[in-house]
Amino acid sequence: MATIKDIAEKAGVSPAAVSRILNNDTTLSVGEETRKRVLEAAAALNYKPTRKRNVNKTTNMYEIGIVSAASQEDEVSDPYFMAIRLGIEMACSKLPFKIKTMIYAGNSSSFEELKQLDGVIVIGGIEPSSVQEYCHGHKNIVFINHLPETGEYDVVASGLDKAIEDVLNYLMDKGHTKIGFIGGYDMYNRLNDSQSLGEVPDIRNIAYEKVMKEKKLYRPQLVQIGEWGATGGYQLMRKFLEEGTLPTALVCASDQMAIGAMRALHEANIRVPQDLSVIGVNDIEAAEFLNPPLSTVRIHTDEMGRTAVKLLYDRLKGREIPIKAVLSTKLMIRDSSSTPNK
């Protein structure tokens, strides 16, 4: 089991700093980069916080469950999901919450366990009614990274539509008009069924198309949609190369896709950013260590998890009005983006 010392060694900080960061010590003066590095190191090591026993026997502990649309393999390959879960666990350790059940996509856990819980936090695209049927009709369910069509439940999301708009405006200000996009579909599943209910356009794709059409710059041949991940990004970039429809700048729906795209460009002797600018989304730890360092959008994944716990706690305390919390993002400009090559 990972320890504070293990995290400190991986993040390159002192154990004391790790402890204070993981415990949300507001008196600690630490940069955002350091804080993010510690949280990502904790997620990568699958750190489990030690929960203190409740010494006040008169205080009830709420038992909750976490349901993730991602598999355990997805968590390992993409720190996005793991960082959200870690944020949930950290927040639960500060409140009278006990995580009783953790259900991943595609595992054999009994969904019947959800019936015994006080509340549920859902990470990813899972159809709301399929969760509701296990929750005795209560509304103590919070969805992260997914916006159910119904307005009955609390939702935590990042402002990805605004983030893509900011990216496009930045590139246009740099002089780019031929801006491409690669991304994937948003998968929509039922809790007790591994089969997808269907592919729907991802919010990043929708935002890209909306802005580019408003600016009268949209070209269908500059959009490639396929598999998520580095392999997907590589394959989609190869399609651009084979079709001869290269943009001067490329917006990738995730950093992993950007990494794959940059590999394909390197193999084709196309320079980044001199010949083609690349910008990703997520700001994973590896982004600033790529060659060149990747421009990207920072998503506060750990805060998404903490916000979901706060919303669930408020629900359990009696709040009935559903809340949709949209967290801000931050554009991180590094060396993979510049003005177009004249």
The angle at the Cα of 317, spanning 314 to 319, to the nearest 5 degrees, equals 60
Question: In this structure, are residues 236 and 253 in contact, taking their beta carbons and an 8 Å threshold?
Answer: no
Q: What is the mean pLDDT of residues 321-341?
A: 93
Report which of residues 24 and 67 the model is more confident about. Answer: 67
* pTM of the entire predicted model: 0.78
CATH number 3.40.50.2300 given to 56-158+300-328: yes
- Number of Cβ within 10 Å of residue 171's Cβ equals 25
Backbone Cα Rg of the chain: 21
Residue 55, pLDDT score: 33
What are 273-301's pLDDT values in tens digits?
Answer: 999 999 999 998 889 999 999 999 999 99
What are 166-225's pLDDT values in tens digits?
Answer: 999 999 999 999 999 999 988 767 666 655 556 778 899 999 999 999 999 999 999 999
Query: What's the CA gap between 176 and 70, in Å, rounded?
Result: 35
Residue 114, pLDDT score: 81
Residue 278, both tokens? 């690349």
Looking at the chain, the domain(s) classified CATH 3.40.50.2300 span 56-158+300-328, 160-298
Q: How far is CA 240 from CA 98, 116, 182, 268, in A?
A: 49, 51, 10, 11
Looking at the chain, the domain(s) classified CATH 1.10.260.40 span 1-48
Q: What is the mean pLDDT of residues 241-252?
A: 95
- The mean pLDDT value of the chain amounts to 86
Residue 300, pLDDT score: 93
Topology adopted by domain 160-298? Rossmann fold (3.40.50)
Strands (E), 137-194: 141-144, 154-158, 179-189
Q: What 8-state DSSP symbol labels residue 147?
A: -
pLDDT of residue 56 exceeding 50, the answer is no
Task: From the options 1.10.4030.10, 1.10.260.40, 3.40.140.10, 1.10.150.120, give the CATH code of 1-48.
Answer: 1.10.260.40
